[in-house]
């Protein structure tokens, strides 16, 4: 029995040895190690295009943005990562605050809308996503929808709205609302929404599917989900409605990238940051993931409200994480979590 | 043919095996060192605490969340025992039709990852799930009761963890000497009285062990509870990592979670009792006569069918539905064979290492009842009580900074699995060691055989059943493991669980469905082997 177990361990070790060898080979080609909090589904193709265009091999480690940020914090000076690409500004802010990011070139920073980069020049946005109300075009016309998300607390919306309270983008929206409107206003907004008996979904795509099937008329989601669901399910009768006037419902969050201070591939890392914030990268995000380019001169999908016209609430995106706890507490108190 | 199963008045043969063999202690040292890593990491982080972090912890809903965790753990453990014990009895000791098929079918929910299972349950029985859809079409029902919150968390965790109790109790029932129960029956006691006063006490260690696994699993689970929107203690820990990015409060909260686990462990030790469970004589190693269910047969069959339908068939049906919907929409079925191979290698490695690590600890604590054994054994539950992310970050911290060559390598993933799931190995192992009388080993020694030889020739074959069961459990759980795999794997290394995550996290269930089905099919193999093994044991016994 023990001999058998030993044999299994050894064979596992041997397999591990082989696996380790391939990793070492890849390292031998002086590749760039990227920690990616964005899913392979979204960014895999643009990484491949980068390698093809620039001749720099990438070793991409996929994971959850916040967990990868925690990993980098634990690794500290020993981090094997050269670059950290994150789904949200909060994770970038945490790494920046720990002093683990290197300063980025001014040239790269200046390309990007001021709302979507680190005030200290330690990380820069790569693409934006806007909160919207996705509505069923069979049930509603654009003009039927309120200008502020607060309008959905009106009793006429009872039983017609839905969202995913466990989704981090929704939670970031609530955190943003606390930042700009205060906790009391946020609570009365949430109370009003709860009074309208919203439908609760597991995630954004389920919410969009419910809007498509007519189960609800309106869902609070990120702007690109209607395109993703359409790609999987076929044409759906759903359109995006954007809130205006700096409304908390119009929060635009950003994915972004930073270079680790300890990277010994700083040159190649800078090339990747340049690529993703350059024409090829930005066009990719606009056309393939239906996100907002964050650099002037690259247009989003034509049926989207241009980014500069979205009056998003005034706040520092990388600070939103700190307000997440009160946001979750509030959501729990009103019974949404 | 006499057997001691006397409870309460058993003399304790403390240190019966005499001096603890030095070799055994030497083996236990590296195991203890590994097990100390997560706790050590948490202490390092917690030591950085200032007034601010304590304020953060006390200001939040820490106490409330702890109480909710305790309530959920209590309810799930109780329900898992109430389901697991009767099902184990039905499938081993009665004339239930097709009981061998049921034995496999009823242990299958174990192969469904709780995050996949909870998601599937919501899709099937949620307020707008498939069930409501068909009810609406047929009867015009618009609303069915919402299962999210406590009921959903309770139901899904119970359904996907009761097999721990079921498997351990069924194994114990198969290993029980039927002559004790026969004696009770011959004294005129009813079947129920015999079960209550003879069988049940003999099952105490296995019920306690299975319940412990269920309780600690529920305590550390994050996936199912967050999908069901029931906030518990693990949510407070995740929040520190995800929102505040503050590792100090997260560490303090994790230590509190270990403290709760310590209380659960103490309760289990009390429930387990201090009796001896091994035979003192040769015993009668033959299968017990099957109890006739009579008219209750149909009730029993319906109960088995209901549990299997909700806990296994429904989740599978939902996953197949996703797969078909994806294919219908023009997608391809994604069947990642490479990831399947990767999963099996690390999970088998985890099971093997867990066996190597658990053996010295189990021997020390069962045979020698020494303080070292007891302390190491208690320590071995700390990894299992913690959310995967916490243990993973502990290994990130130590490996990245002190053993860089091991960092992000397969051996590190295997080590993490062993540390995370050691109790799933040690509980069944301990159970089978308890059934082996030390007299056998002493006789072997008296005949002049070396300690190693005695272990190899006498002890090892007798505890093989427990070792196999433990290895199967660790293998299954490792196959499903996600958070530690994501953080510790070599870059680019994929397992089925990471592929399910890749698909599901972007809402593409068609992409997640293929790997999820493969994961479930592969996990059925060790369960099948376990069931076969039970049959083989039985045939051997008959042949004697």
CATH number at residue B131: 1.10.3720.10
User: Residue B23 domain-assigned?
Assistant: no
CB B301 within 8 A of CB B90: no
Position A323 scores a pLDDT of: 83
Position B74 scores a pLDDT of: 97
Q: Is the pLDDT of residue A152 over 90?
A: yes
Which residues in chain B touch residue A6, judged by CB atoms under 8 angstroms apart? 352, 356
Q: What's the DSSP call for residue B244?
A: I
What is the 3 state secondary structure string of B461-514?
A: HHHHHHHHHHHHHHHHHHHHCCHHHHHHCCCCCCCHHHHHHHHHHCCCHHHHHH
Q: Residues in chain A, how many? A: 337
Find which of A35, A74, A333 to mutate to test the B interface (most B CBs within 10 Å of its CB).
A74
Sign of the torsion angle spanned by Cα atoms B318, B324, B325, B326: positive
| Residue B186 sits at the chain A interface (C-beta within 8 Å) | no
User: Residue A226 domain-assigned?
Assistant: yes
Question: Out of A270-274, A331-335, B212-216, B300-304, which region has the weakest mean confidence (pLDDT)?
Answer: A331-335
User: Residue A1 domain-assigned?
Assistant: no
Q: Minimal Cα–Cα distance from A329 to chain B, Å? A: 8
Find which of B148, B242, B416 to mutate to test the A interface (most A CBs within 10 Å of its CB).
B242
| Residue among B329, B356, B508 minimizing CB distance to A41 | B508
Position B542 scores a pLDDT of: 42
Q: Which two tokens stand for residue B342?
A: 């990767």
**Residues A217, A108 share a domain:** no
Which residues in chain B touch residue A73, judged by CB atoms under 8 angstroms apart? 245, 247
Position B512 scores a pLDDT of: 83
Domain count, chain B: 1
**Residues A175, A141 share a domain:** yes
Range of the domain at A42: 33-128+252-309
**Residues A216, A145 share a domain:** yes
Position A7 scores a pLDDT of: 39
**Residues A243, A112 share a domain:** no
More confident residue, B492 or A221: A221
Q: Is the pLDDT of residue A25 over 70?
A: no
**Residues A175, A139 share a domain:** yes
**Residues A299, A215 share a domain:** no
| Residue among A9, A12, A166 minimizing CB distance to B226 | A166
User: Residue B8 domain-assigned?
Assistant: no
CB A176 within 8 A of CB A320: yes
**Residues A322, A197 share a domain:** yes
Range of the domain at B486: 40-280+303-543
Which residues in chain B touch residue A166, judged by CB atoms under 8 angstroms apart? 226-227, 229
User: Residue B338 domain-assigned?
Assistant: yes
- Look at B464 and A67 and tell me if their CB atoms are within 8 Å: no
**Residues A235, A153 share a domain:** yes
**Residues A169, A265 share a domain:** no
User: Residue A164 domain-assigned?
Assistant: yes
* Percent of chain A predicted with pLDDT > 70: 91
Other Cβ atoms within 10 Å of B290 Cβ, number = 12
Report pLDDT digits (tens) over A281-310: 999 999 999 999 999 888 888 888 888 888
Burial degree of B287 (CB within 10 A; 0-12, 13-18, 19+): middle
State mean pLDDT over A153-182.
92
**Residues A102, A197 share a domain:** no
Average of per-residue pLDDT values in chain A: 87
Domain count, chain A: 2
The CATH number of residue A169's host domain is 3.40.190.10
Burial degree of B70 (CB within 10 A; 0-12, 13-18, 19+): middle
By C-alpha distance, which of B436, B442, B425, B424 is closest to B461?
A: B436
For chains A and B, CB pairs below 8 A equal: 177
Q: Minimal Cα–Cα distance from B178 to chain A, Å? A: 28
**Residues A225, A87 share a domain:** no
By C-alpha distance, which of A36, A119, A40 is closest to A83?
A: A36
Which residues in chain A touch residue B127, judged by CB atoms under 8 angstroms apart? 199-200
pTM: 0.86
User: Residue A4 domain-assigned?
Assistant: no
User: Residue B27 domain-assigned?
Assistant: no
| Residue B532 sits at the chain A interface (C-beta within 8 Å) | no
Sign of the torsion angle spanned by Cα atoms B180, B186, B192, B196: negative
| Residue A166 sits at the chain B interface (C-beta within 8 Å) | yes
Q: Among all residues of chain A, which has the CA nearest to that of B391?
A: A71
Query: What does the pLDDT profile of chain B (544 residues) look like in tens digits?
Result: 333 333 333 333 344 445 777 888 888 888 889 999 999 999 999 998 887 777 777 766 788 889 999 999 999 999 999 999 999 999 988 888 988 889 888 988 988 887 788 888 887 777 767 777 777 777 777 666 777 789 999 999 999 999 999 998 988 888 777 777 888 888 888 878 888 888 888 888 889 999 999 999 999 998 888 888 888 999 888 888 877 788 888 899 999 999 999 999 988 888 876 666 665 555 555 666 677 777 888 999 999 999 999 899 988 988 888 888 878 777 777 788 999 999 999 999 999 999 999 998 888 887 777 677 778 888 889 999 999 999 999 999 999 999 999 999 999 999 999 999 999 998 888 878 877 777 777 787 788 888 788 877 777 777 887 888 899 999 999 999 999 999 999 998 999 999 888 877 665 677 788 899 999 899 888 888 777 666 555 544 444 3
| Residue A289 sits at the chain B interface (C-beta within 8 Å) | no
| Residue B243 sits at the chain A interface (C-beta within 8 Å) | yes
| Residue B262 sits at the chain A interface (C-beta within 8 Å) | no
| Residue A195 sits at the chain B interface (C-beta within 8 Å) | no
What is the 3 state secondary structure string of chain A?
A: CHHHHHHHHHHHHHHHHHHHHHHHHHHHCCCEEEEECCCHHHHHHHHHHHHHHHCCCEEEEECCHHHHHHHHHHHHHHCCCCEEEECCHHHHHHHHHCCCECCCCHHHHHHECHHHECCCCCCEEEEEEEEEEEEECCCCCHHHCCCCHHHHHCHHHCCCEEECCCCHHHHHHHHHHHHHHCHHHHHHHHHHHHHCCCEECCCHHHHHHHHHHCCCCEEEEECCHHHHHHHHHCCCCEEEECCCCCCHHHCEEEEEEEEECCCCCHHHHHHHHHHHCCHHHHHHHHHCCCCECCECCCCCCCCCCCHHHCCCCCCCHHHHHHHHHHHHHHHHHCCCC
pLDDT band at A11 (very low <50, low <70, confident <90, very high): very low
Q: Among all residues of chain B, which has the CA nearest to that of A26?
A: B491
Position A336 scores a pLDDT of: 85
User: Residue B13 domain-assigned?
Assistant: no
User: Residue B22 domain-assigned?
Assistant: no
| Residue B400 sits at the chain A interface (C-beta within 8 Å) | yes
**Residues A320, A279 share a domain:** no
User: Residue B194 domain-assigned?
Assistant: yes
A contact residues 125-164, partner B, Cβ 8 Å cutoff: none
Find which of B245, B324, B474 to mutate to test the A interface (most A CBs within 10 Å of its CB).
B245
Position A272 scores a pLDDT of: 97
Question: Could you tell me how far CA B46 lies from the centroid of its own chain?
Answer: 29
Position B224 scores a pLDDT of: 87
CB B37 within 8 A of CB B394: yes
Position B328 scores a pLDDT of: 79
CA dihedral B186, B190, B193, B194 (to 10 degrees): 40
- Look at B243 and A90 and tell me if their CB atoms are within 8 Å: yes
User: Residue A21 domain-assigned?
Assistant: no
Question: Out of A14-18, A171-175, B345-349, B519-523, which region has the weakest mean confidence (pLDDT)?
Answer: A14-18
User: Residue B291 domain-assigned?
Assistant: no
Position B277 scores a pLDDT of: 66
- Look at B242 and A66 and tell me if their CB atoms are within 8 Å: yes
């Amino acid at each position: 029995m023990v001999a058998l177990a030993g044999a299994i361990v050894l064979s596992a070790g041997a397999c591990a040895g082989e696996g380790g060898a391939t990793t070492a080979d890849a390292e031998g080609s002086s590749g760039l190690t990227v920690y990616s909090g964005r899913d392979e589904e979204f960014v895999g193709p643009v990484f491949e295009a980068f390698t093809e265009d620039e001749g720099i091999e990438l070793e991409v480690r996929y994971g959850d943005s916040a967990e990868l940020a925690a990993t980098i914090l634990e690794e500290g000076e020993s981090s094997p990562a050269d670059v950290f690409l994150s789904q949200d500004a909060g994770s970038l802010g945490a790494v920046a605050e720990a002093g683990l990011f290197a300063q980025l070139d001014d040239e790269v920073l200046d390309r990007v809308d001021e709302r979507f980069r680190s005030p200290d020049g330690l990380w820069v946005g790569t693409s934006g996503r806007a909160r919207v109300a996705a509505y069923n075009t069979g049930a509603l016309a654009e003009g039927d929808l309120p200008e502020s998300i607060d309008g959905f607390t009106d009793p006429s919306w009872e039983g017609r709205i839905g969202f995913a309270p466990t989704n981090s983008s929704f939670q970031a929206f609530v955190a943003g609302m606390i930042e700009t409107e205060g906790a009391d206003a946020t609570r009365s907004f949430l109370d009003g929404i709860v009074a309208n008996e919203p439908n609760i979904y597991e995630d954004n795509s389920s919410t969009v599917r419910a809007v498509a099937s007519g189960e609800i008329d309106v869902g609070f989601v990120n702007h690109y989900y209607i395109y993703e669901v359409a790609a999987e399910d076929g044409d759906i009768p759903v359109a995006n409605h954007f809130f205006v006037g700096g409304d908390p419902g119009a929060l635009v969050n950003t994915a972004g990238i930073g270079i680790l201070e300890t990277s010994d591939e700083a040159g190649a890392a800078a090339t990747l940051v340049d690529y993703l914030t350059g024409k090829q990268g930005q066009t990719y995000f606009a056309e393939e993931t239906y996100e907002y380019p964050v650099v002037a001169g690259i247009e989003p999908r034509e049926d989207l409200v241009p980014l500069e016209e979205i009056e998003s609430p005034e706040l520092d995106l990388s600070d939103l994480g700190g307000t997440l706890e009160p946001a979750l507490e509030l959501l729990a108190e009103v019974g949404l979590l | 043919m006499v057997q001691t199963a006397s409870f309460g008045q058993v003399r304790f043969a403390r240190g019966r095996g005499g001096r603890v063999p030095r070799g055994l202690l030497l083996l236990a040292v590296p195991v203890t060192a590994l097990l100390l890593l997560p706790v050590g990491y948490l202490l390092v982080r917690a030591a950085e605490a200032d007034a601010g972090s304590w304020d953060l912890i006390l200001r939040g809903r820490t106490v409330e969340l702890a109480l909710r965790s305790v309530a959920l753990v209590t309810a799930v453990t109780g329900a898992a025992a109430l389901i697991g014990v009767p099902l184990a009895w039905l499938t081993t000791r009665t004339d239930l039709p097709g009981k061998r098929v049921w034995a496999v079918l009823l242990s299958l929910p174990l192969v469904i990852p709780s995050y996949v299972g909870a998601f599937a349950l919501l899709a099937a029985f949620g307020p707008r799930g498939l069930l409501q859809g068909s009810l609406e079409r047929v009867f015009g029902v618009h609303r069915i009761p919402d299962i999210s919150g406590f009921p959903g968390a309770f139901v899904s965790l119970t359904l996907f963890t009761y097999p721990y109790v079921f498997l351990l109790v069924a194994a114990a029932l198969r290993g029980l000497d039927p002559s004790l129960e026969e004696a009770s029956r011959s004294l005129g006691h009813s079947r129920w009285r015999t079960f209550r006063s003879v069988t049940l006490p003999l099952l105490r260690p296995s019920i306690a062990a299975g319940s412990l696994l269920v309780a600690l699993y529920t305590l550390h689970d994050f996936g199912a509870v967050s999908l069901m929107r029931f906030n518990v203690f693990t949510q407070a820990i995740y929040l520190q990592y995800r929102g505040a990015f503050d590792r100090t409060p997260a560490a303090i909260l994790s230590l509190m979670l270990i403290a709760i686990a310590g209380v659960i462990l103490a309760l289990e030790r009390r429930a387990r009792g201090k009796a001896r469970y091994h035979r003192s004589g040769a015993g009668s190693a033959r299968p017990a006569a099957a109890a006739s269910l009579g008219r209750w047969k149909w009730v029993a069959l319906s109960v088995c069918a209901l549990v299997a339908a909700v806990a296994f068939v429904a989740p599978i049906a939902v996953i197949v539905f996703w797969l078909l919907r994806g294919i219908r929409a023009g997608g391809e079925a994604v069947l990642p064979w490479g990831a399947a191979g990767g999963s099996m290698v690390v999970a088998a490695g985890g099971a093997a290492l867990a066996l190597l690590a658990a053996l010295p600890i189990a021997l020390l604590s069962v045979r020698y009842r020494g303080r070292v054994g007891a302390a190491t054994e208690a320590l071995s539950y700390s990894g299992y009580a913690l959310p995967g992310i916490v243990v993973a970050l502990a290994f990130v911290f130590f490996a990245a900074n002190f053993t860089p060559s091991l960092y992000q390598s397969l051996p590190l993933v295997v080590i993490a699995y062993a540390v995370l799931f050691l109790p799933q190995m040690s509980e069944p192992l301990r159970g089978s060691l308890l059934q082996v009388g030390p007299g056998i080993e002493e006789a072997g020694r008296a005949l002049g055989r070396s300690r190693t030889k005695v272990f190899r020739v006498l002890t090892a074959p007798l505890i093989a059943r427990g070792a196999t069961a433990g290895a199967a459990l660790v293998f299954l759980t490792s196959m499903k493991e996600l958070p530690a795999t994501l953080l510790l794997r070599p870059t680019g290394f994929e397992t089925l669980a990471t592929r399910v995550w890749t698909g599901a996290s972007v809402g593409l269930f068609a992409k997640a469905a293929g790997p999820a089905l493969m994961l479930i099919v592969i996990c059925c193999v060790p369960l099948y082997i376990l069931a076969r093994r039970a049959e083989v044991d039985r045939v051997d016994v008959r042949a004697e």
